[in-house]
Amino acid sequence: MKWLLLLGLVALSECIMYKVPLIRKKSLRRTLSERGLLKDFLKKHNLNPARKYFPQWKAPTLVDEQPLENYLDMEYFGTIGIGTPAQDFTVLFDTGSSNLWVPSVYCSSLACTNHNRFNPEDSSTYQSTSETVSITYGISSLPDIVFTINGVQYPVPPSAYILLVSQDLFSVYLSADDQSGSVVIFGGIDSSYYTGSLNWVPVTVEGYWQITVDSITMNGEAIACAEGCQAIVDTGTSLLTGPTSPIANIQSDIGASENSDGDMVVSCSAISSLPDIVFTIH
C-alpha cells in the first residue's frame, strides 16, 4: 500500500533533496475580480471546481482538453529548468494533474509571446517524438493569460526521477505569506517546517492523492463529513472543494454572505472571533 505524508513537507539531512522555492501570486479569480470581469466569466462558464476530479471518459487521443476554470484559484508557483542548458519556466506544481506543459517558440499567440517559450533548437538533449499533441485550455476570451502546469499527480515518481534523489517522495509547504516562504521538496522532508511527529495516512484510491477524512468539526460538533469521507490533496488550488450541502453548512456556521461576484465571504474583522474548523485525519 502506498502512503501519503500529510503536513507542510520535509527533509532528512542525510538525503539528497531538491528544494524549489514557491512564490505566491494572485489567482486568476482575484485578477478577474480586480478587472471587473469575474461576474461575467462565472455567468458564461459553468464553474464546477470538482469537475477536475471527475473527468468524463473519452477514447484515447492526442488532444487533451483542460477546462481553464480548473486553475481559477491557483496561487503557488515555482521555477524549473527544461533542456540543456536549462531554459527556465515558472510553473504550477499541481498534485491534481499529471501533465507537464510549457509554451514553445512555435506558439505565436499573445499569451505565449508574453511568456518564456521553450526553444528546442537551443537544447542539446531535446528529442522530437514526431507526434502532434494538443492541449486545449477551453477558453479563448483571456488572450493575455497563460498557465504553465507541472503535474505531480499520483503515482510518483518515475524511475529516472528516483535516480536523482535518495527517497521516492516529495513534500510541499505552503505559507500564508503573500510572497515567499513556500517550497516543494523532491526526495525528502525538512523537519524545520513542522513540530512534533509526522502522521502518515494511506492513499485510498490510486490515481489521485486520495485519502480518508474522518470528520470536519467546529465547536466539537460535526459540520461536514460526519461519518467519514474521501478527499483529494491538491496543491493546484487555493480552495477547499466539496459537495454543495456540507459546504453550505460550513458557510452558514461561519456567517458567510454572498458578495457582488457571487463568492461567499467573511468580514476580515470577524475572522479572529471565528472558532476553529477541525479536520480529523488518522
Q: Which three cell numbers stand for residue 135?
A: 492541449
What per-residue confidence (pLDDT) applies to 119? Answer: 94
Q: Which of 178, 234, 253, 263 is catalytic?
A: 234
pLDDT in tens, the chain (282 residues): 444 444 433 434 455 788 888 888 777 777 888 888 877 877 776 666 666 666 555 554 444 444 444 456 667 888 888 999 999 988 888 887 777 778 889 888 777 777 889 999 999 999 888 777 665 543 433 333 334 445 566 665 554 444 577 788 889 998 876 667 889 888 889 999 999 999 899 999 888 899 999 999 999 999 999 999 999 988 877 778 888 888 888 899 899 998 877 778 899 899 899 999 999 998
pLDDT of residue 62: 44
Catalytic residue (one of 73, 88, 94, 214): 94
Q: Is the pTM of this model over 0.75?
A: no
Q: Tabulate helix, strand, coil % of the chain (nearest 5).
A: 20, 30, 50
Do 235 and 94 touch, CB atoms closer than 8 A? yes
Q: Is 94 part of the annotated catalytic residue set?
A: yes
Q: Express each pLDDT in 47-67 by its tens digit.
A: 666 666 665 555 544 444 444
How far is 47 from 277, CA to CA, in rounded Å? 25
H-assigned helices in the chain: 28-34, 38-44, 110-113, 159-162, 244-253
Predicted local confidence at residue 52, as pLDDT? 62
For position 74, what pLDDT does the model report?
A: 64
Q: Which domains does the chain have, with CATH numbers?
A: 3-173 (2.40.70), 204-280 (2.40.70.10)
Does the annotation mark 261 as catalytic?
no
User: Can you tell me the distance from the alpha carbon of 262 to that of 256, in angstroms, rounded to the nearest whole number?
Assistant: 12
Length of the chain: 282
| Strand 264-265, strand 134-136: pairing | unpaired
pLDDT at residue number 55: 58
What is the reported pLDDT for 43? 74
Is the peptide bond between 120 and the residue preceding it cis, with omega within 30 degrees of 0? Answer: no
Q: What is the pLDDT of residues 6-57, one digit of tens each?
A: 443 343 445 578 888 888 877 777 788 888 887 787 777 666 666 666 655 5
Beta bridge partners of 276: none
